[in-house]
Amino acid sequence: MKLQPTIKAFLMVALMIFIYSCEKEEFPSIEPEQTVPQRIQDTTYTDAQLKKVLEEEAEIIKLEKSGYVADISGMDVAKDNPKKVYMHYMPWFQSKDYDGYWGQHWTMTNKNPDITDSNGKQEIASYFYPVIGPYSSNDPDLHEYHFLMMKLAGIDGVIFDWYGSKDLYDYENIKSATESFIEIMEDLDFDFSIMYEDRVAKQAYDLGLSNSIIEAAQEDFTYINNTYFTSPNYIKHNDKNLLFVFGPHHITTQQEWDTIFDILPTDNRPDFLTLWAANNLVGQNATGEFLWVDQDHLLAHEHYYNNYDTENLTIVGSSYPGFDSFYAEGGWSEGINLWSIDHNQGQTFAETLNYTHHEIADFIQLITWNDFGEGTMIEPTEEFGFMYLQLLQQYTGVDFTTDDLIVALDLYTARKYFSGNQEAQDYLDRTYKYIKQLNLVRADKIIKAVYKFYS
């Protein structure tokens, strides 16, 4: 059962957005909605109408299987707000249904998703629960669902949290999962970038997989250059490939980074962004910085952007819904944070989404789509429903509503319900194409027809 935020809570959030939007002139004002959109369960068509839909689509499917393929390239979503908005994304989940086991980001050390409560809710290492339940980052049905949702919310691309090219810990799984997304990103014309964790270079050296920390980083950068920079949908900024480092924490001199970047072609040096207050550790190789979630919340925003070199460096705005780490309760000893930032029924997201530094920001990084372990997830959850995506739809100025998001969710649900039925899946493939074409009414009608005649 998906939980929607209360009307009172949503109006409070909408009011917060309206207040903050009045402080800035670059972005359009976001008017508060008077009601919370509810899922439409009783939209009815006659059996004859639904049967006709399947008959019409069956003819198209027959043509496609005979070799005719209509050119449906990309998913062109118009936005009133021109500011680019990129979502930080964690490709690190495994599920027993898809991968044969539950990955550590659902279990940590003491949780077991095989255990369910009386409502069928599975035990996971998070204070929050995804609407679709725990999932696998390798699942193409998930790729479809997540990226259609983001497109309909006006998000321009994702920034993958990436842990190097070596097969250690679960990093190979993260790398493989990242690459499993590329096909659908290119199909939807959805952009992506990589955020590198430089600690993985130290770990590779410590485990004897590379001769030095610098060599390990060089090998990772060579891999990034050959595998990701070659995609037509890799994000560019200032006509350069956009690359992030979460830190750096272990490679901390310009000389070291000079050596690392020397392995890349001179004409393919990236626009390289460090964590806030860290560009000096990279020297002239750094072209900017990005802010992250901090216990000081808006005070950190204010301090950072008041002291930032806005003339010479790339400026990245940051927005997040809150912070509530499960690490200590989940039994993890590293990365524990004993502070939290209350989600406050969406007001935290509103105030960070509309904070005044966004007026000068080159683009915005949303933190995050799905870090359930740290409680920064924006994807639909039982606790918050579609609230965060509703707010993004208002902010980005797309012409879509929660009802449209629900069509993408219904497609994912139908994919799972009819997982062994190829004929039904053929119709659902058509549904995906209609969503790409922004014909949400037709897509919804096909899903209803499939349930009617194939259940």
Per-residue confidence band for 285, with pLDDT thresholds at 50, 70 and 90: very high
Phi then psi for 66, rounded to 5 degrees?
Answer: -85, -5
**Cα–Cα distance measured from residue 110 to residue 403, given in angstroms and rounded to the nearest whole number:** 37
**Cα–Cα distance measured from residue 357 to residue 24, given in angstroms and rounded to the nearest whole number:** 10
Amino acid symbol at 34: Q
Task: Mention every residue, 6+ apart, whose C-beta is less than 8 A from residue 386.
Answer: 4, 37, 380, 402, 405, 406
Q: What's the pTM value of the predicted model, to 2 decimals?
A: 0.90
Token code pair at residue 200: 């993985």
Q: Is the pLDDT at 151 greater than 80, yes or no?
A: yes
Domain residue ranges in the chain:
7-29+75-422
3-state helix, strand, coil split of the chain in percent (to 5) is: 45, 10, 45
Higher pLDDT, 230 or 303: 230
H-only helix segments in 298-401: 298-306, 327-330, 347-353, 387-396
Task: Mention every residue, 6+ apart, whose C-beta is less than 8 A from residue 333.
Answer: none
Residues shown for the chain: 455
pLDDT value at position 356?
A: 61
Please give the average per-residue pLDDT across 160-177, as a whole number.
97
Please give the average per-residue pLDDT across 250-255, as a whole number.
97
Which has the closest alpha carbon to 86: 147, 143, 157? Answer: 157
Please give the average per-residue pLDDT across 387-413, as a whole number.
96
Token code pair at residue 84: 């680019």
pLDDT value at position 242?
A: 98
pLDDT in tens, 202-220: 999 999 999 999 999 999 9
CATH class in words for 7-29+75-422: alpha beta
Q: Is the pLDDT at 31 greater than 90, yes or no?
A: no
pLDDT value at position 108?
A: 98
DSSP structure string for 26-41: SSPP-PPPSS------
Distance of alpha carbon 158 from the chain centroid: 6
Q: Is the pLDDT at 71 greater than 80, yes or no?
A: no
Q: Could you tell me where the beta strands, DSSP code E, fall in 280-338?
A: 288-290, 314-319
Per-residue confidence band for 420, with pLDDT thresholds at 50, 70 and 90: very high
Token code pair at residue 177: 């999962």
**Cα–Cα distance measured from residue 42 to residue 46, given in angstroms and rounded to the nearest whole number:** 12
